[in-house]
Amino acid sequence: MVSEQALQQIKSLRDEINQHNIDYHVLDAPQVSDQYYDQLLRKLHELEVEFPELLTSDSPTQRVGAEVSEQFESVQHEVPMLSLDNAFDEDEMLAFNKRLSDLLAVDTSLQYSAEPKLDGLAVSLLYVQGKLVRAATRGDGRSGENITTNVRTIKSVPLKLIGDKVPELLEVRGEVYMPLKGFNQLNDRQRQNDQKVFANPRNAAAGSLRQLDPKITASRPLTFCSYAIAQLNGEVLPATQYEQMLLVKSFGLPISPYIKQLSSIENCSDYYQELADKRDSLSFEIDGVVFKLNDIKQQNKTGFVSRAPRWAIARKFPAQEVMTTILDVEFQVGRTGALTPVARLDPVEVGGVVVSNATLHNMDEINRKDIRIGDTVIVRRAGDVIPEVVSAVLKDRKADFKKPEMPATCPVCESEVIQQEGQAAYRCTGGLVCAAQRKEAIKLFASRKAMDIDGLGDKLVEQLVDQGLINSIADLFSLTLEQLSSLDRMAEKSAQNLLDALEHSKQTTLPRFIYSLGIREVGEATALALANYFTELEAVENADEETLILVDDVGPVVAANIVHFFDQSENEQVIETVIKAGLQWPPIERIEDIDLPLKGTTYVITGTLENYSRQQAAEILKKLGAKVSSSVSKKTTAVVAGAKPGSKVDKANKLNVTVLDEKAFDELTGN
To the nearest 10 degrees (0 to 180), the angle between helices 90-104 and 265-278 is 150
Tell me the C-alpha distance between 608 and 513, whole Å: 27
The whole-angstrom distance between residue 230's C-alpha and the CA centroid of its chain comes to 36
First to last CA, the chain: 103
DSSP for 87-135 reads: E-SHHHHHHHHHHHHHHHT--SPPPEEEEEEESSEEEEEEEETTEEEEE
Tell me, yes or no, if 297 is annotated catalytic: no
Tell me the C-alpha distance between 634 and 654, whole Å: 10
What are the b/e assignments for 575-606, b being 16+ CB within 10 Å?
bebbeebebebeeeeebeeeeeebeebbbbbb
The active-site residue, picked from 117, 292, 316, 627, is 117
Residues 6+ apart with CB under 8 A from 437: 333, 334, 335, 336, 337, 428, 430, 431
**Using CA of residue 420, residue 426, residue 432, residue 433, what is the dihedral sign?**
positive
Task: From 471, 472, 468, select the one nearest 486 (Cα to Cα).
Answer: 468
3-state secondary structure at position 324: strand
Query: In the Cβ-directed half-sphere of 623, how many Cα atoms lie within 13 Å?
Result: 11
Burial of 334 (0-12, 13-18, 19+ CB in 10 A): middle
Contact 437, 333 (CB under 8 A): yes
Give the phi and the psi of residue 176 in degrees, each rounded to 5. Answer: -95, 125
Tell me the C-alpha distance between 422 and 399, whole Å: 32
Task: From 426, 368, 365, 372, select the one nearest 404 (Cα to Cα).
Answer: 372
Residues 6+ apart with CB under 8 A from 386: 358, 359
By annotation, the residues acting in catalysis are: 117
